[in-house]
Amino acid sequence: MTGRHHLFIPGPTNVPDRLLRAMHRAQEDHRSATFPALTRSILGRLPAIVGSTAATPFVFPASGSAMWEAALVNTLNPGARLLAVRFGQFSHLFIQTARNLGYHVDVIEVPWGEGASPELIEAALREDTERNIEGVLLVHNETATGVTSDVAAVRAAMDREDHPALLFVDGVSSIASLAFAMDAWRVDCAITGSQKGFMLPAGLGILYCSPRVMQRLDSVTTPRAYFDLRPMRANNEQGFFPSTPALSLLWGLDEALTMLLDEGMEQVVARHARLAEGVRRAVHAWGLSLCATRKEWYSNTVSAVVVPEGADARAVIQVAFDRWNLALGSGLTQLAGKVFRIGHMGDVNELMLAGALTGVELALQDSGVAVTPGSGVAAASSWWRETTPRQLT
């Protein structure tokens, strides 16, 4: 098929040419005297992405999901009790990872399409009079449903109960795209990967640890090997890594940090919010609805669109790919066939999204879903014309 493929799944996202050029270079000696300059450039700037001056970042040749494990085994002793909210596929997998590692997880079930309830978390912590719960697991942006939860409200709920539990936040599809205030929210472990807001291929797991977590590393007795932060900490302090790093991805990450920080994180957040609102207006113009059930939960990185009764979202996704060269995200587990997902994070602008929305309209019509041709694109473009990217001075 001629022309460029349109990738609008919620990760991996489009890799800008600038980052492709940064990664396209010969391999180098990762033990050389000059290598620490790269390590320090990356580790020194990563905290700014999550609004932190205190966090210690770690970068593994892995994925965001792997950082679930790294966060847990380095901070909790065997058999620890945790609290989590399950409201989508990735919060489910976070819980499953903890249980597979031998931790006990109390689960608050919330309907898919809603966000994590600070009130239910507060109530569960209030009942924990013996303070046996050692950690709260929270997915900031549930990619399966297009729902963003309020981390600040969860932290406030924990504070009202004066509960000492650690706060673990999965920010895989939020960090580097949505507002994230690690210090202000007092997040203990923030988890992400390279393939979404950082605009890189998958392959890097990034873990941010608070000072409170760093103080626990040497006292935790859980067996650790590859994801042991202690040798990583010791090597990073010298500008190196304990095992062979993913060099090409590190060069890309260094350049991605330059792109993000040159744009400014406030501007990055504002850009994602403005573009996402255009997508939502398109969805409503088609007469469709979002999986997220309330506006305050709408995600600015991914929209999960519910197809009408009797339609199959899988058919929409298939015809979009086969006929229109457009990749959309599928519905996962209980949402399979019910939703398709439009990713709008990372390296994206108005005209890129307009092309994707045109493809969605065509695929919907080809799949028998009645939409007015051009209606969604018109609604989105009108919004983008009426607004302008926020310019910071």
Alpha carbon distance 57, 47 (integer Å): 7
Alpha carbon distance 241, 9 (integer Å): 32
In this structure, what CATH number is given to the domain that contains residue 156? 3.40.640.10
Pairing of strands 81-86, 104-109: parallel
Q: What is the pTM of this model?
A: 0.97
Closest C-alpha among 196, 112, 103, 199 to residue 149: 112
The answer for residues whose C-beta is within 8 angstroms of residue 391's C-beta and 6 or more apart is 267
Last residue of a domain, one of 262, 279, 307: 262
Cα–Cα distance list, 308 to 20, 212, 274, 369, 379 (Å): 39, 48, 26, 8, 20
Alpha carbon distance 252, 379 (integer Å): 35
Token pair, residue 14, equals 């489009």
The answer for residues whose C-beta is within 8 angstroms of residue 312's C-beta and 6 or more apart is 337, 367
Kindly state whether residue 110 falls inside one of the protein's structural domains: yes
Alpha carbon distance 204, 387 (integer Å): 35
The answer for residues whose C-beta is within 8 angstroms of residue 337's C-beta and 6 or more apart is 312, 313, 314, 331
Alpha carbon distance 366, 356 (integer Å): 15
Token pair, residue 187, equals 């997040």
Last residue of a domain, one of 233, 262, 291: 262
User: Across the strands, what pairs with 60?
Assistant: 205
Res 388: pLDDT: 82
Let me know whether 109 and 140 are in one domain: yes
Token pair, residue 60, equals 């593994």
First to last CA, the chain: 44
Let me know whether 338 and 215 are in one domain: no
For residue 373, is the peptide bond before it cis, meaning its omega torsion is within 30 degrees of 0?
A: no
Alpha carbon distance 293, 38 (integer Å): 44
Give how many domains the chain has, as a whole number: 2
Res 390: pLDDT: 58
Name the burial class of residue 132, with classes exposed (0-12), middle (13-18) and buried (19+) by CB atoms within 10 angstroms of its CB.
exposed
Cα–Cα distance list, 332 to 176, 193, 292, 339, 383 (Å): 24, 20, 15, 9, 30
Let me know whether 203 and 164 are in one domain: yes
Q: Which domain holds residue 302?
A: 6-12+265-386
Digitized pLDDT (tens) for each residue of the chain, 393 residues in all: 789 999 999 999 999 999 999 999 999 999 999 999 999 999 999 999 999 999 999 999 999 999 999 999 999 999 999 999 999 999 999 999 999 999 999 999 999 999 999 999 999 999 999 999 999 999 999 999 999 999 999 999 999 999 999 999 999 999 999 999 999 999 999 999 999 999 999 999 999 999 999 999 999 999 999 999 999 999 999 999 999 999 999 999 999 999 999 999 999 999 999 999 999 999 999 999 999 999 999 999 999 999 999 999 999 999 999 999 999 999 999 999 999 999 999 999 999 999 999 999 999 999 999 999 999 999 999 999 999 875 443
Last residue of a domain, one of 219, 235, 262: 262
Kindly state whether residue 391 falls inside one of the protein's structural domains: no
